[in-house]
Amino acid sequence: MSILLRAHMFGELVKAVGGVDAAAAAIEAVVGHTVSRGTISKVQNGHSEVPYAWVTALENATGRHPFLNMRSREVSGRPAKSELACHLDMLREATEGITALAEFEANPDDPQTMVKAYAELADVHDMAGATMTKLKGLMGIQDEDAA
């Protein structure tokens, strides 16, 4: 798992608990010493590793468990419990699409790079479309076609 993904997940926990000051209070209550607000910001921005004790403190305080769920999926090999595309699957597909598009931009006369870019971006489009359709259903929004 990349440091930026961990930083993003940590940042979402900080938001969920009520911001940096609330996160510091929750963490301090668990670890038993003061925690620098600046260090929390560094961790959120991906400039420092996420301490495990901080993760557990914020997961327990918020009732959200992104790190625990991610680790559980890694260890068990099971996919995410949601019918929606896992954010990591989406990230992987998008990265493959962007990489293929960059290869095409570097070699615009190569038909193979064009076909690969199209195929990779089609995968991104399909995954995003399917996820959006499921989200619409969860929100109770029906397509005009379905009426």
pLDDT at 51: 95
Does 57 share its domain with 99?
Answer: no
Q: Assess whether 66 and 46 both reside in one domain.
A: yes
Residues 49, 15: one domain? yes
**For range 51-74, the mean pLDDT:** 90
Residue-number span of the structural domain to which 93 is assigned: 87-146
Q: Return the closest-CA partner of residue 83 out of 136, 129, 135.
A: 135
Q: How much is the mean pLDDT over the chain?
A: 87
* 110 and 45 belong to one structural domain: no
Asked if 92 and 124 sit in the same domain, the reply is yes
Count how many domains the chain has.
2
pTM (predicted TM-score): 0.56
Predicted confidence at residue 83, as pLDDT, reads 55
Question: Does one domain contain both 111 and 62?
Answer: no
Q: Which residue, 76, 100, 131, sits at the end of a domain?
A: 76
Q: What is the pLDDT of residue 138?
A: 76
Residues 58, 25, single domain; the answer is yes
Residue 123 lies in a domain: yes
Percent of the chain with pLDDT over 70: 89
What tens digit of pLDDT does each residue of 15-47 get?
A: 999 999 999 999 999 999 999 999 999 999 999
d(CA 30, CA 94): 37
Indicate whether 18 and 65 sit together in one domain: yes
Distance CA 31, CA 92 (A): 35
Boundary-marking domain end, from 76, 106, 124 = 76
Q: Are residues 52 and 116 in the same domain?
A: no
